[in-house]
Amino acid sequence: MLPLNLFFKQTTETARLGITLRGLLKLKEILIEEFGAAAFLDMSTADVNTKWVKEVTAERRCRLVEMEELGHTKVTSLAFSPDGRQLASGTQPPSDQPSSPAATDPGHTKKVTSVAFSPDGGQLASGSEDCTLRLWDTATGQCTATLEGHTMPVTSVAFSPDGRQLASGSDDHTLRLWDTATGQCTATLEGHTEEVSSVAFSPDGRQLASGSDDETLCLWDTATGQCTATLEGHTDPVSSVAFSPDGRQLASGSEDCTLRLWDTATGQCTATLEGHTMPVTSVAFSPDGRWLASGSDDQTLRLWDTATGQCTTALEVCKACTAEGVAPQADL
């Protein structure tokens, strides 16, 4: 599946788009075997086409982070700290070794599926197939709380904008809200009929969005825990959701190979974005909200104009992919 994560990172100079890869990746003389990697592509590059990855690498506009340094064998999730100085990664551990996003604690007992930093960067949250969430102190690497309540694997975690709440989605068909100070579950949100695959807070923290294998999205009132709207339109599971920076739009990616844009005030679908030929796995808005990025199992990254719904760029990330990861065959 490619990309595993897709995100825009705001820097002082420009907005950069990050793509996380898994498996075998060859960039020039760099070969990372059985390790994940993160590539950061300079969005200020004007000439963007299918050779962009090569050009960016040759011009040193692409940074490659070797996850071997973190002791991971298969990277399943990545997240940047708010100041951009730390990179957190979750892993698929060997069968005889627990999985942890931090080096100093044995941590989760099964694969880490999602990681997220708190807005102040002081905490890291992780969700796992062991059905728990954990909170970590980013300064010490110590686990400060284990959050229990889900009865099936946790698929997604997200902090509220003020950092006081943590949301989680799970294969048990529910979302949960947690108090990050106490580690207590404050609400269980029920409404989906299948696995919850993705969760995201609105920029003001008043709404929570979720995507599910039941082919719907739900909007939730974070104060009451009530579902305020069920968004229908996708014909296959929804894999990823993201709010625009102003909170007026919600984007979703689905296994039906499309993206959709939704009006968060009315719950109406305002655009269906077609172009990918395989399931869409990740979506992310640019910091100014003008662009939407999508990653897909068709091995392409696409950029969409959110005003027109038109695809402006289709970037071929690699030439071949196996079920276990990415395996480019062509020399770069």
User: How does pLDDT run across 32-55, given as a tens digit for each residue?
Assistant: 222 233 344 333 333 333 233 333
What tokens does 145 get?
């709380």
Q: Which of 238-252, 257-271, 314-328 has the lowest mean pLDDT?
A: 314-328
| 146 neighbors 162 (Cβ within 8 angstroms) | no
Average pLDDT over residues 86-99: 68
Average pLDDT over residues 214-241: 98
Length of the chain: 332
pLDDT band per the 50, 70, 90 thresholds, residue 86? confident
Given this model, what pLDDT does residue 97 score?
57
Q: Which CATH number describes the domain made up of 75-312?
A: 2.130.10.10
Q: Tally Cβ neighbours within 10 Å of residue 35.
A: 22
Average pLDDT over residues 141-170: 97
Q: Tally Cβ neighbours within 10 Å of residue 190.
A: 12
- Partner residues linked to 166 by β-bridges: 159, 178
pLDDT band per the 50, 70, 90 thresholds, residue 234? very high
In the predicted structure, residue 210 carries a pLDDT above the cut 90: yes
pLDDT band per the 50, 70, 90 thresholds, residue 59? very low
Kind plus residue range of the DSSP H or E element containing 31: strand 30-32
Average pLDDT over residues 190-211: 98
The 10s digit of each residue's pLDDT in 97-141 is 555 554 445 688 999 999 999 999 999 999 999 999 999 999 888
Alpha-carbon distance 197 to 206, whole Å? 20
Averaged pLDDT score across all residues of the chain: 77
Alpha-carbon distance 103 to 221, whole Å? 36
Given this model, what pLDDT does residue 14 score?
40
In the predicted structure, residue 290 carries a pLDDT above the cut 70: yes
Given this model, what pLDDT does residue 21 score?
39
pLDDT band per the 50, 70, 90 thresholds, residue 84? confident
| 198 neighbors 210 (Cβ within 8 angstroms) | yes
Domain boundaries, the chain: 75-312
| 116 neighbors 158 (Cβ within 8 angstroms) | yes
Alpha-carbon distance 248 to 294, whole Å? 19
pLDDT band per the 50, 70, 90 thresholds, residue 7? low
pLDDT > 70: percent of the chain: 68
What tokens does 279 get?
């399931």
